[in-house]
Amino acid sequence: MPDDDTPSTSDASGLSAGLPEVRVSTGADLIAEKVRSLPDSPGVYRMFGHDGEVLYVGKARSLKKRVANYAKLTGHSNRIARMITNTTAMEFITTATETDALLLEANLIKRLKPRYNVLMRDDKSFPYILLTGDHNFPQVIKHRGARARKGDYFGPFANAGAVNATLNALQKAFLLRSCSDSVFEARTRPCLLFQIKRCSAPCTGEIDADGYSELMSEARDFLRGRSRRTQKELAANMNSAAEAMDFERAAIYRDRIRALTQVQQHQGINPQTLTEADLFAAYQEGGQTCIQVFFFRAGQNWGNRAYFPRHDRDLDVAEVLDAFLAQFYEDRLPPRLVLLSHEVAGRALLAEALSIIAGRKVAVGLPQRGEKRELVGHAMTNAREALGRRLAESSTQRTLLEGVAEAFSMAETPQRIEVYDNSHISGTHAVGGMVVAGPEGFIKSQYRKFNIKSEIEDGDDYAMMREVLTRRFARLLKDSEPRPETPPEIDDTLDPSHIPPDWPDLILIDGGAGQLKIANEVLTELGIDSVLAVGIAKGPERDAGRERFFIEGRAPFMMEPRNPVLYYLQRLRDEVHRFAIGSHRARRSKAIGVNPLDEVPGIGPGRKRALLQHFGSARAVARAGLSDLEAVDGISAKVARTVYDFFHGNPDQTT
């Protein structure tokens, strides 16, 4: 973040906004004009570029003082100086407190993705363990997404693998059911999980409600970090059963104790001094930063995840970590303790904001000694190693892209490659696929599928490719049109598309000279001459390694069989093929479940049921005569005529 202020965000309640009246100046002059009318109160400011692009979102304890710093002509880094020069408009939102400003800032940064802010690039939700609370015999399941279902949530876990391993051990230790409610209600005898001692089979009454409730209570205690007490109770029960000569029951308790021990050992580093905490360690090298996040719950290590936020190379590691934290918790429930590897300017403010989000006190600390400091050191080692691997992979990727540029005689190394392919069966359920690759590998968030809309006969691949490329590049051209002078107001309909569209440097077409000709015709028709199109055709007998490449104005050629660039291009081709086929299969599967009666106007569930019960199938309904349709209970003469006309093509029918 460019300011000395702590990072900021805020909640949209009780906010007032002011839009610029007329822009008569830019850069520092414009900022100086804005300062005159700004209040000395907390808030959030946004800086816009000439095309309406949001350059930066920041928060301030005092809008007037913070923004005034940008009006100064000296003392700025090159990055901030560029940002100020490019600023053509500003917008401001006042908030009740600086904490509100911090929360709003994080919300806007994640939504608008400004060029000069630190951006958290991984928005995937974390998995949790859920003990359901809407059934007399609760189940234990893995959960992602909104916490809409009633129950107790435990997590987050770093990945699904950690959840599955823990669920497996919990089943052994506490014999909780994992089946769905519908399966539970339908059981008449215990399933295999009961036979292998993974479930207590409440579905068939093998355990009563009180006994199952006791198991649930033990599981909750364990997941809340009270494992020692649970193990002591199980050990006492095992000894009591053994003294009573009930060795079968004692063996059950023994197995449960072993399962609990397995959970604790599986989690890796299990701290003695941490019950519930998130640990953040940041390491910076080569202008990039890795932030390792470790999750500790119930006194156990529930895994870690590495993040590589997008930021300007001028920012130091503490500034990156500071900006990252508010975004990380913008839509996540924080634990009671957050540990950091670096002192950040907004630590006190962050603790206050996280306490508001959690509805309880959240401490943000910087450990200096003891076990917590050792854990931070371990996380820092992981961050350093993860960043080293990423830099090595990026270096390899850059080398491959340079090889692509050389192979295709490109003036510059491509930064964005788009690869296209189609998938269909005799023209039905046709889908076009686009995958994207760049210096950091595949960019899966920017993959696109195109459901073919045109009437195409007998699977005309050329026509499909023409439609896909026309839609793609026509949209790019539309998105590149100049935007209105006045920046949009903040509202729920705001489309954060201020960042200019990503144009490819190279497009690869899965096909030979014919497909390439179509691609070049589309680009020419749209007036695009900055994108190179290359066709990649499979070798004889579809032999990988003997692909032929087609470029307009150049004879078809092949690469050396063991050329790493060839392997890279094969990977691109295989990835788009996989993506297109997957999209086609999904569309085909969805179509299989469609009933023709769903398309008939005036036919709801009741009438559809009556028709199917009378005729047996939708096909029989389609073949039925008008008098047969009128004979169905609940189908009037008017409705029968509508159904008959729908299937027999009466030109007067209205649909």
Domain containing 616 — which CATH number? Answer: 1.10.150.20
Last residue of a domain, one of 266, 291, 315: 266
166, with CB counted inside 10 A (0-12, 13-18, 19+), is buried
Structure-model confidence comparison of residues 340 and 346, the more confident one: 340
Q: In the prediction, which pLDDT does 295 show?
A: 85
Task: Report if residue 411 sits inside a domain.
Answer: no
In a domain, 98, yes or no: yes
Under the banding of pLDDT at 50, 70 and 90, the label for residue 544 is low
341 and 199 in a common domain: no
Please report whether residue 401 resides in a domain: no
Q: How far apart are the first and last CA of the chain?
A: 57
Q: What confidence tier does 156 reach under pLDDT thresholds 50, 70, 90?
A: confident
Instruction: Compute the average pLDDT of residues 385-411.
Output: 84
My answer on whether 337 and 447 are in the same domain is: no
Residue 652 pLDDT > 90: no
Are 564 and 612 in a shared domain? no
Range of the domain at 357: 277-388
The answer on 606 and 527 residing in a single domain is no
Indicate whether 578 and 448 sit together in one domain: yes
Residue 317 and residue 242 in one domain: no
User: Tell me, what's the pLDDT at 226?
Assistant: 62
- Domain presence at residue 365: yes
Domain co-membership, 82 together with 165: no
Give the pLDDT confidence of 44-83 residue by residue, as tens digits.
999 988 878 889 999 988 898 889 988 887 778 878 888 8
Q: Is the pLDDT of residue 522 over 70?
A: yes
Residues 6+ apart with CB under 8 A from 236: none
Is residue 533 scored above 90 in pLDDT? yes
Same domain assignment for residues 248 and 340: no
Residues 153, 206, single domain; the answer is: yes
Q: Are 137 and 178 found together in one domain?
A: yes
Q: What percent of the chain has pLDDT over 70?
A: 82
Q: Look at residues 266, 293, 322 and tell me which one is the last residue of a structural domain.
A: 266
Q: What is the reported pLDDT for 427? A: 59
Q: Which residue has the higher pLDDT, 562 or 177?
A: 177
Residue 345 near residue 6, CB atoms below 8 Å? yes
> Does residue 135 belong to any structural domain of this protein?
yes
Residue 449 has pLDDT above 60, yes or no: yes
Q: Is residue 492 part of a domain?
A: no
- Per-residue pLDDT, 425: 67
The pTM score is 0.52
Taking 90 as the threshold, does the pLDDT of residue 220 lie above it?
no
The whole-number average pLDDT for the span 107-127 is 77
* Domain end residue (candidates: 587, 620, 636): 587
Q: Verify that 103 and 207 share a domain, yes or no.
A: no
**Average pLDDT, rounded, for the chain:** 79
Query: With contact defined as beta carbons under 8 Å apart, do 101 and 8 qualify?
Result: yes
Q: Are residues 258 and 342 in the same domain?
A: no
Please give the tally of structural domains in the chain: 5
Say which CATH number the domain at 475 has: 3.30.420.340
Instruction: Report helix, strand or coil for 533.
Output: strand
* CATH number, domain containing residue 58: 3.40.1440.10
Kindly state whether residue 4 falls inside one of the protein's structural domains: no
Residue-level pLDDT at 489: 42
Confidence check: pLDDT of 419 > 90? yes
Residue 21 lies in a domain: yes
pLDDT bin (cut points 50, 70, 90) of residue 186 is confident
pLDDT, mean of residues 616-625: 81
Residue 46 near residue 103, CB atoms below 8 Å: no
Contact 176, 216 (CB under 8 A): yes
d(CA 16, CA 8): 17
